[in-house]
Structure 1
Amino acid sequence: MPQQSIISLILPFVLFMGVLYIFIILPDKKRKKQYNSMLEGLRVNDEVITRGGIIGKITRIQDEFIIIESGPDKVKFKLSKNGIATTTSALKEEK
């Protein structure tokens, strides 16, 4: 009898962990994979949106940094690749 009570206590926990994995962890892994492939696919002249909301065009790509040009005065920013939120072409594809 004691084993049946242990199983009845553990089963809901295992089911909850399975649901958590399916609905939270798997979609997050997919989203991270898409984001990393987007970062790997960045090219010069791509238009990007930074996490801070700045829209600009990539002028140079270095190892882990990119330089973007923004605004009518062609102001240049150097930022980490992880500072890129998305590309404008990705936004157009979603619509």
Structure 2
Amino acid sequence: MEGIGSFLPILAMFAVVYFFMIAPQMKRAKQEKKFVNELKKGDKVITKSGMHGRIAELNDKDSSCVIETMSGKIKFDRSAISMEMSKKLNTDTATTTK
């Protein structure tokens, strides 16, 4: 009985780490993967480096996309697109056009 009591704090610590660190990170990774898979031609996006543009082409073979900016077209990896900033950009433009 004493053996179980000594492992209880370690188990509780592992549960806290899992629910506050590991589970939210897995949820976020799942959301980002869904966002990347739902990108389509014509979407307005912002890259993680701050480049604004519109998706001109999507390439499933190497998981890249071509983003058209005011100064030309640039090829990026889809993982370089910021989910938070792109969603914010699209919700802001949707509310201002109404």
The interval holding the TM-score normalised by the smaller chain is 0.7 to 0.9
3-state SS, counterpart of residue 79 of structure 1: strand
Regions of 4+ moved over 3 Å: none
Residue type of the partner of 2:66? Answer: I
3-state SS, counterpart of residue 44 of structure 1: coil
Equivalent residues of 1:48, 1:87 under 8 A apart: no
In structure 2, distance between residues paired with 1:33 and 1:88: 17
- Can you give the 5+ residue segments of structure 1 that lack an aligned partner in the other structure? none
In structure 2, distance between residues paired with 1:37 and 1:29: 12
Q: Percent of pairs identical after alignment?
A: 31
- Can you give the 5+ residue segments of structure 2 that lack an aligned partner in the other structure? 93-98
State the shift of 1:9 in Å.
2.6
How many residue pairs end up in the alignment?
A: 88
**Structure with the bigger percentage of strand:** 1
In structure 2, distance between residues paired with 1:85 and 1:10: 42
Task: For residues 18-39 of structure 1, give each alpha carbon's deviation from its aligned partner in whole angstroms, at most 9, with x where no partner exists.
Answer: 1111111111111111111100
- TM-score by structure 1 length? 0.82
